[in-house]
Amino acid sequence: MQPVRDRLIVGLDLPTIGDAEKVVAALDDTVDFYKIGYQLVFAGGLEFARDLIASGKKIFLDMKLLDIDNTVARGVENVVAMNVSMLTLHAYPKAMAAAVEAARGSDLCLLGVTVLTSMDADDLKDAGYADDPATLVGRRAKQARDAGMGGVVCSAREAAMVRGIVGPDMAVVTPGIRPAGADHGDQKRVVAPADALKAGASHLVVARPIVKAADPAAAARAILAEMDYAPA
């Protein structure tokens, strides 16, 4: 099992590259893995990702791709060329199959997003799904496994179920992590760091509790300490 430092991914959910640079500088000796999503991508985040990779950091590019097969495949090919460590796409079978073929032979870990951690049963119903979150997560985890994906993204509340479906080798990445006493924000299915690891998560994504903290490095160290209580 990887050291806890390699299992913590800090989400750079920030409005500008300048803001992200300040957080990365503050976390330099503490964190090696960063998530970059839509907000920062549209502010120059792809070039920033390349710079971080060149400096020895690892990048989780959270783009949640979903499109026709050819478009997904061509996009994945370009992400492979960036030397990104992880890339998300929505866990739809055809999209996953196209992405897996495009990434074949590379070190890119493709992650299928099951159900967003901001969604609960009522949200799924409003979106036209008949399934509750756990049922839909389980179905999509099986589809990701069968497609040959590198892992899945799910709430830590479903991590134990997902780990049972995908086996010991696939990544189970859990956002919606909140340390003890932290505000839940817009996340509805949250779990504490050690509990997420005990449930079977391989990596934890933490954004606001670190990047919005008065002392990001201290906040990250506190979360790493919580993670140390989980079994390896």
Q: Which CATH number goes with the domain that contains 72? A: 3.20.20.70
pLDDT for the residue numbered 187: 46
d(CA 5, CA 33): 8
Known catalytic residue at 123: no
Q: Is residue 26 predicted with pLDDT exceeding 90?
A: yes
What single-letter DSSP state applies at residue 129? -
Residue 200 within a domain: yes
Average pLDDT over residues 191-220: 94
Known catalytic residue at 62: yes
| Higher-pLDDT residue of 104, 29 | 104
d(CA 71, CA 53): 25
Q: Which tens digit of pLDDT belongs to each residue from 171-199?
A: 999 998 877 655 545 444 468 898 999 99
Number of domains within the chain: 1
Residue 78 within a domain: yes
Furthest CA-CA distance within the chain? 46
- 160, exposed or middle or buried, with CB in 10 Å at 0-12, 13-18, 19+? middle
pLDDT-based confidence at 2, cuts 50/70/90?
Answer: confident
Average pLDDT over residues 205-227: 94
Residue 61 within a domain: yes
Q: Which tens digit of pLDDT belongs to each residue from 29-46?
A: 999 999 999 999 999 999
Return all residues near 220 (Cβ < 8 A) that are at least 6 apart: 8, 10, 27, 30, 31, 206, 210
pLDDT-based confidence at 229, cuts 50/70/90?
Answer: low
Contact call for residues 225 and 6 (beta carbons, < 8 A): no
| Identified catalytic residue from 51, 67, 120, 123 | 67
Q: Which tens digit of pLDDT belongs to each residue from 112-129?
A: 999 887 888 888 889 888
State yes or no: 64 annotated in a binding site.
yes
State yes or no: 32 annotated in a binding site.
no
Residue 232 within a domain: no
Residue 148 within a domain: yes
Whole-model pTM: value is: 0.91
Domain with 91 in it: 4-227
pLDDT-based confidence at 144, cuts 50/70/90?
Answer: very high
| Higher-pLDDT residue of 115, 1 | 115
Chain Cα centroid distance, residue 94: 21
pLDDT for the residue numbered 181: 56
State yes or no: 117 annotated in a binding site.
yes
